[in-house]
Amino acid sequence: MAYFEVRDLHVYYGAIHALKGISLRVEEGEIVTLIGANGAGKTTTLRAISGLVRPRSGQILFEGEDLLRYKPHEIVTQKRVIHVPEGRRVFARMTVEENLYMGAFTRTDRDKVEEDLERVYQLFPRLKERRRQLAGTLSGGEQQMLAIGRGLMAAPRLLLMDEPSMGLAPILVESIFETIQEINKQGTTILLVEQNAHMALQIAHRGYVLRTGEIVLHDTAENLRANEMVQKTYLGMA
Amino acid sequence: MNTPLRAAFRAGLAGSLIALHLALVGMVEAFNKREIIQDTVTLGQLLLLGVSIGTALYALQLIPQERRATRDGWLTALVSVSVVSLTLMLLSLAIQTINLRFMFQNASKELVRILTFHTPGVVGLVKLWLFILVGGILGVGYLFVPRPWNRVLSIAAGATLIMGVMRSIVTPLLPDLLVDALYTASGLKRIGAVVLFVLWSAILYTYPRWKARAQTLQTLEVRLGPRTIPLPVFLGIVVLFALPAILREEGSYLFEVLDMVGIYIIMGFGLNIVVGYAGLLDLGYVAFFAIGAYTMAVLSTPELPVVREFLTQTIGRSTLNFWEIIPIVIVISLISGVLLGVPVLKTHGDYLAIITLGFGEIIRLLVISDLLKPILGGAQGITGVARPTFFGKFVINESWEYFYLIVITIGIALYISVRLRDSRAGRAMKAIREDEEVAKAMGIDHVAAKLSAFATGAVMAGLAGALFSSRLYSIAPHSFNVLISINVLCLLIVGGMGSLPGVVVGALALVGLPEVLREFAEFRLLVYGAALIIMMLYKPEGLWPERARVSPIAKEVFGDRLQQLKIE
C-alpha cells in the first residue's frame, strides 16, 4: 500500500473537464513534483487533495483511507495533510508570529508547537527578526517563507506546496528550494507543484508531467531531466 | 506643487462649491435659527466659518510646506477664502435680482439677509466678505501663533463652541447657578463663552504638566474580588451608574439620547463581530433588530387576540413579562442568525451583501404584510409592549432607568466581544476574514466560525431590539428599514472596523450628534455621506482603529502605508 495515492481523479469546473483521470502516488519521505504548463491542472490537483474542490470521481488515499470522506478542516485535523497555497497567501493583518500560530491552530500538543516554532525560525531566521511585524508588510520572498513556515507549524505528514517559487527573484528561488530540500531531509513528505521544472526536478525524487488535465509522463527526477520531451517543453533546452 | 495663486483658486473653487451647496440645500438657513453665542454667532454662521477655515487650510496644503508660514501663506489663504466670499456675494446678488426659487427652494430673501448680516446694499456684501475673511485669517493664523498656543487656543475655541451647540446635553450636568450664569435658552451668553474659552485654554495649557501625574493615576488599581481594574476605569463605571440616578428627570433628554446611542452600541458590537471580526458584509442586520423587537412586542402586548389565545392554551397566561421574553429573544435571534448563515455560507463580498440586504427586506415585508397581521400587528405596529419590572413592584419606565439596563447589556456585549477577540474562535474568524481558503487549509472549520459569528451578532441585535421596543412601548414596521443596517455599518466604519472603542466613538458621533443637533435631522444623510467620504479619504482606518503590533523597522520602511495598519 502506498503512503499517499491518487487514483483516477476527475474534476470538473462547471462544464470544463479540468482533471481527466489523474493517478499518482507519493511514498513516505519523498519529494514528488508535479510539473506542467499554466492551466495543466496542477493547482486543481492540490485543491482536490485538500478538499477545497470536490472531484466528480476517483479516490484520494492517505494510508489507505479515502480523504474524500473528510471536510477540508478534517483533512488537516485528522490526517495532517497540509496545503501551502500558491501566491504567498499570508494573513496580511496578523503579525508573522500570529500567522505561524494560525498554522498550529488545530494542534493540542502545546510543547511541540513551541518546538516547531523554534524549528521554523531556524529554517527562516528572517521570520524571527520580523516576528512582530504585520505579514502584509513583508517582502514577497519573506511572505513565501512565512506561508511555508505556517504550513510546517501544522506538523504535516504530507505537505502540499503550490508554486513556492512564483514571482520570486532567482536568488530567492534557489534558497527557497534549498530550504524545501532541508525540510524534506528533516522528515516531511512533500508533493511539490511547480512551473519551474528545472529547480523542481533537481530536488525531487520522482516527478509527474501534467498536460491539460492528464498525466503524460512519470519517472524518476533524474530520468525526467534527461527526457527529450521534458527538456524541450519544460526545461527550455533546444 | 502649485503656485500660491493657483492653489488659492483651486481651494477657493472647492470651498465655493461646498458653500453654495450648503446654502442652496437650506442648511445655512436652518442652522441659523440656533444662536450659539448670544447676539454674536449662530450655528449657520459657524457653518460658513467652518467652510472658510477648511478652504484656507486646504489651500495651504496645496503649496509647498516651507512657504506656508510666509507671505505666500497669507496670500494663498486670503485669496482662497475671498473666492468663496465672492461666490456667496454673487449668490446674494443673483437671488435679489432674479427669482431662483423655481429651481432652488431655499434661495430665499431670508438666505440673503443671513449672508449679508441683515444689511442691505454694498455694506452688507462687504460684511459678508469680512466675515468669510475671518475664517481665512484663523486658518493661516494657526501657523503664526507660537506653539503650544495655536493648538491650545484652537481646541479651546472648538470646545467652547461645542459646549454652546450641545447646550441641551451639557446643562443638566451643571448646577443651576452655573447654567444661569453661562447659558441662554438657546446657547451661550457672551460672558459665558469668554469664561469657558479662558477656562479651556488654561486647562489645555496646563494639561501636559498634570499628564505625568495622571499617568501615576493610571497605574492605581482597585481590587474587585480576585481581579484588579485600573482606577480610572473604576471611576468611569461609578460615574456611569451614579449619574442617571442623580440627574433623573432633569437629564431625561440626555438619557433619551444616550439610550439610543447605547442601543446602537449594542448593535455595533454585534455587527462588529460579523463584519469586523469575520469579514462578512451583512447589510440586512436590521432584520435581527426587528426580530428581537417583535419577539418582545408580540409576546407581551395585550393587543393580539390570536397570540393571546395561543399563549393561554399553552401556558395558561395570556402574556409574558419582560424577563421571561428575554431568553426567548436570545433563542429566536440565535436561530435566525444561523438560518441566515446557512444559505450564505458559500457566498462572499458583494454577493453576500446583496443576499443579506434581501433578508432584511423580507423580514420588514413580512411584518407589514396583511397575512401576518393577526400575529405581527401589520402596518400599524404594536403598542403595549412590556416594561421590565423587579419583584413585581418596581417598574422601569423612564429613559434614565432604561439607561441602566442598556449599560449592563453593553457591558455583556463588550465582555463577549473581548473574550471572543482573544479566543480561538475569534482567531478563526479573523483568519477567515483575511483569507477564507487559506483558513480552510489551516484546518479551520469555516462553517462553525461563520455561523457562530452570525449567531452572536444576531443575538446582540435581538437584545438591542427587545430593549428598543420595550423602551418605546410601541413599535411599527417603518422603524426597521434598511437605514438602520446602514447606520450601524457606518458607525463601525467611522469608529474603526474591528475596534471595540471605535464602536462607542462611532455611535456617539453618528447617533448621538444628530440627536443633539436637531437641525441636522433633515440633512442627516447628506452629513453622513460627507462624513464618510472625508473619513475614507483622510482616515480610512477609523477614528479609533483596531490595534495591531508593528515593529519599529516596519514603521521606518513602510511609513505612510502603515497609517492604514496603525501602530500600537
Give me the DSSP letters along B78-111: HHHHHHHHHHHHHHHHHHHHS--TTT-TT--HHH
| Chain-chain contact of B434 with A132 (C-beta, under 8 angstroms) | no
End-to-end CA distance of chain B: 33
* B546 → chain A, closest CA residue: A93
| Chain-chain contact of A52 with B424 (C-beta, under 8 angstroms) | no
| Chain-chain contact of A93 with B565 (C-beta, under 8 angstroms) | yes
| Chain-chain contact of B443 with A89 (C-beta, under 8 angstroms) | no
Q: How many contacts, defined by CB atoms under 8 Å, are there between A and B?
A: 92
| Chain-chain contact of B565 with A132 (C-beta, under 8 angstroms) | no
Among B430, B435, B442, the residue with its CB nearest the CB of A154 is B442
Taking only the tens place, the pLDDT of each residue in A133-181 is 999 999 988 999 999 999 999 999 999 999 998 888 888 899 999 999 9
Cα R_g (chain B), whole angstroms: 27
Query: Contacts of residue A103 in chain B, CB cutoff 8 Å?
Result: 442
pLDDT score recorded for residue A7: 94
How far is C-alpha B556 from the chain's CA centre?
Answer: 34
Using CA atoms, how far apart are residues A191 and A177, in angstroms rounded to an integer? 13
A51 touches chain B (CB under 8 A): yes
- DSSP string across B441-492: HTT--HHHHHHHHHHHHHHHHHHHHHHHHHHHSEE-GGGGSHHHHHHHHHHH
Cβ contact B460:B277 at 8 Å: no
A102 touches chain B (CB under 8 A): yes
- Using alpha carbons, select from B58, B60, B41, B52 the residue that is nearest to residue B19: B52
> Which amino acid is it at B317?
R
Give A64→chain B minimum CA distance, Å.
21
User: Which of the residues A78, A93, A142 would you substitute to probe the B interface, choosing the one with the greatest number of B C-beta atoms within 10 Å?
Assistant: A93
pLDDT score recorded for residue B341: 92
- Using alpha carbons, select from B354, B341, B343 the residue that is nearest to residue B278: B341
Using CA atoms, how far apart are residues B274 and B117, in angstroms rounded to an integer? 51
Cβ contact B268:B495 at 8 Å: yes
Assess whether pLDDT exceeds 90 at residue B523.
Answer: no
Mean pLDDT for A19-33 is 94
Query: Contacts of residue B434 in chain A, CB cutoff 8 Å?
Result: 91-94
Output the nine-digit C-alpha cell for A29: 519521505
| Chain-chain contact of B442 with A105 (C-beta, under 8 angstroms) | yes
Cβ contact B135:B51 at 8 Å: yes
- Using alpha carbons, select from A27, A24, A31 the residue that is nearest to residue A7: A24
Query: CB neighbours (10 Å) of residue B148?
Result: 13
| Chain-chain contact of A130 with B553 (C-beta, under 8 angstroms) | yes
Query: Contacts of residue B427 in chain A, CB cutoff 8 Å?
Result: 98, 101-102, 105
Taking only the tens place, the pLDDT of each residue in B420-457 is 998 999 999 999 999 998 998 888 999 999 999 999 99
Question: Which H or E run contains A103?
Answer: helix A96-103
Q: Which of A118-122, B99-103, B261-265, B291-295 has the lowest mean pLDDT?
A: B99-103
| Chain-chain contact of B548 with A134 (C-beta, under 8 angstroms) | yes
User: Which of the residues B432, B438, B547, B567 would you substitute to probe the A interface, choosing the one with the greatest number of A C-beta atoms within 10 Å?
Assistant: B438
DSSP A95: B
Using CA atoms, how far apart are residues B458 and B322, in angstroms rounded to an integer? 19
DSSP A168: -
pLDDT score recorded for residue B554: 44
pLDDT score recorded for residue A228: 86
Output the nine-digit C-alpha cell for B408: 449592563
> Which amino acid is it at B44?
G
Using CA atoms, how far apart are residues B261 and B264, in angstroms rounded to an integer? 5
Give me the residues of A, 175-234, that contact B with CB < 8 A. none
Question: Which SS3 state, helix, strand or coil, does residue A57 take?
Answer: strand
pLDDT score recorded for residue B530: 85
Cβ contact A8:A166 at 8 Å: no
pTM of the entire predicted model: 0.85
Give B551→chain A minimum CA distance, Å.
5
Strands (E), chain A: 4-13, 16-26, 31-36, 57-62, 65-66, 81-84, 158-162, 190-194, 206-211, 214-220
Query: Contacts of residue A75 in chain B, CB cutoff 8 Å?
Result: 443
Q: Scanning the structure block, which residue is given the C-alpha cell 422603524?
A: B479
pLDDT score recorded for residue B217: 66
| Chain-chain contact of B434 with A85 (C-beta, under 8 angstroms) | no
Q: Scanning the structure block, which residue is given the C-alpha cell 507671505?
A: B71
Taking only the tens place, the pLDDT of each residue in B458-511 is 999 999 999 999 999 999 999 999 989 999 999 999 998 889 999 999 999 888
Give A227→chain B minimum CA distance, Å.
35
Q: What is the ipTM of this complex?
A: 0.86
B477 Ramachandran zone, left/alpha/beta (phi>0; psi -120 to 50): alpha
User: Which of the residues B433, B435, B440, B553 would you substitute to probe the A interface, choosing the one with the greatest number of A C-beta atoms within 10 Å?
Assistant: B440
Using CA atoms, how far apart are residues B498 and B492, in angstroms rounded to an integer? 8
| Chain-chain contact of A150 with B437 (C-beta, under 8 angstroms) | no
Q: What pLDDT band is residue A195 in, cutting at 50, 70 and 90?
A: confident
User: Which of the residues A71, A83, A91 would you substitute to probe the B interface, choosing the one with the greatest number of B C-beta atoms within 10 Å?
Assistant: A91
* A134 → chain B, closest CA residue: B550
Q: What pLDDT band is residue B98 in, cutting at 50, 70 and 90?
A: confident
* A154 → chain B, closest CA residue: B442
| Chain-chain contact of B441 with A83 (C-beta, under 8 angstroms) | yes
Using CA atoms, how far apart are residues B167 and B389, in angstroms rounded to an integer? 33
| Chain-chain contact of A93 with B435 (C-beta, under 8 angstroms) | no
User: Which of the residues B421, B442, B563, B566 would you substitute to probe the A interface, choosing the one with the greatest number of A C-beta atoms within 10 Å?
Assistant: B442
pLDDT score recorded for residue B556: 45
Q: What pLDDT band is residue B548 in, cutting at 50, 70 and 90?
A: low
> Which amino acid is it at B61?
Q
In the beta sheet, which residues pair with residue A194?
A35
Q: What pLDDT band is residue B218 in, cutting at 50, 70 and 90?
A: low
Assess whether pLDDT exceeds 90 at residue B220.
Answer: no
Q: What pLDDT band is residue A238 in, cutting at 50, 70 and 90?
A: low
- Using alpha carbons, select from A217, A191, A105, A112 the residue that is nearest to residue A154: A105
Among B442, B444, B548, the residue with its CB nearest the CB of A93 is B548
Give me the residues of A, 110-149, that contact B with CB < 8 A. 130, 132-134, 136-137
List residues in chain B touching A: CB distance below 8 A.
424, 427-428, 430-431, 434-435, 437-446, 548-551, 553-554, 557-558, 561-562, 565
Give B442→chain A minimum CA distance, Å.
6
Question: Which SS3 state, helix, strand or coil, does residue A24 take?
Answer: strand
Assess whether pLDDT exceeds 80 at residue B229.
Answer: no
In the beta sheet, which residues pair with residue A192?
A33, A161
| Chain-chain contact of B562 with A137 (C-beta, under 8 angstroms) | yes
